[in-house]
Amino acid sequence: MASNGYTAGSIDLPADDDGDLEGSRPYVDSLGAPDPEMDLVEDFQALAPLLDELGDRDRRLLQMRFGQEMTQSEIGAELGCSQMHVSRLLTRLLGNLRAGMLTDK
C-alpha cells in the first residue's frame, strides 16, 4: 500500500494526467519560488528571546536608535554621554545580539 504513494516522475513532465503532451504545463512551472521574507521571520524568532533578556539601558538604547531613528549624537545628548560612547555601546550591544542569533540553542 505505501509503495503506491511514491512516484519517481520528472518535474519536467506535464502536470495533467490525461496523457495530452500538447499545451500542458510541466510540474516545475507550478512550483513556488523561495520567499526571502521567511528569512526575516526566522530572524525575528531568533531575536525575540535575546531582546527579552536585555536590561533597561540596552533596551532604551535600541529603542532610541532604531525605533525613534535618533542619531548617535542625539542619543548621547539624551543620555548625557558622548557620541563616541554611544557608538561603543551600540557596537557591543549589536555584537552580542548577533552572536546570540548565530549560536544554536
pLDDT at res. 15? 64
Q: What angle do CA 9, 14, 16 make, to 5 degrees?
A: 105
Structural domains of the chain in order of their starting residue, each with its CATH number? 11-52 (no CATH), 54-105 (1.10.10)
What's the confidence (pLDDT) of residue 38?
86
User: Could you report the per-residue pLDDT of 22-61, keeping only the tens digit for each?
Assistant: 567 777 777 777 888 888 888 899 899 999 999 999 999 9
With 70 as the cut, is the pLDDT of residue 4 above it? no
Torsion of CA 2, 4, 9, 15, to 10 degrees: -120
**Nearest residue to 96 via CA among 62, 73, 68:** 62
Query: Over the chain, what is the mean pLDDT?
Result: 85
What's the pTM value of the predicted model, to 2 decimals?
0.63
Q: For 9-22, how does the pLDDT look when each residue is reduced to its tens digit (9 = 90+)?
A: 676 767 665 555 55
What pLDDT shows up at residue 3?
Answer: 61
Cell numbers that stand for 16 in this block: 495533467
What is the per-residue pLDDT for 103? Answer: 83
